Amino acid sequence: MTGSDQQMCSSPGFSDEGAAFRRAKLAWVLTDPTRVRILRLLMTIDCASQGELAERLQLTELILTRHLDVLRGASLVVRDADKGTVRYRVDESQINRMKNSANEFSTFLDVFIAKRR
């Protein structure tokens, strides 16, 4: 194993079991098309109440609540109280971490593929 191979195998994020678990959970959360639709909508309108989201996405509030709970559990969505109204928004810091993780994984795959050639 070369030095760069060892570095790739021991890079934080790929050897850390906690980080691997968080990435797997995040990947699972994003496998549901409805949750992806909710995230995409919130990314375009900044924030919305549950009623606004339900109306725009044509979902029942019960179904929406379940999906919002999962998104909140993954720290992708934040719930804010604004003058008595609960509003939801995307957690931009988590989205940035997710983007960085995807870039890191892409680099990992590039190295893996290059070694196979």
pLDDT of the residue at 15 = 56
DSSP SS3 for 100: helix
The domain segmentation of the chain, as residue ranges, is 3-116
Max intra-chain CA distance, the chain: 59
Give the other-Cβ count within 10 Å of 35's Cβ: 19
Alpha helices by DSSP H, listed for 46-91, are 50-57, 61-73
| CA pair distance 74, 72, nearest whole angstrom | 5
Q: For 93-116, what is each residue's pLDDT tens digit? A: 888 888 887 788 788 888 888 988
What fold does the segment set 3-116 form as a domain? Arc Repressor Mutant, subunit A (1.10.10)
The residue type of 94 is Q
Q: For 16-29, what is each residue's pLDDT tens digit? A: 777 777 778 888 88
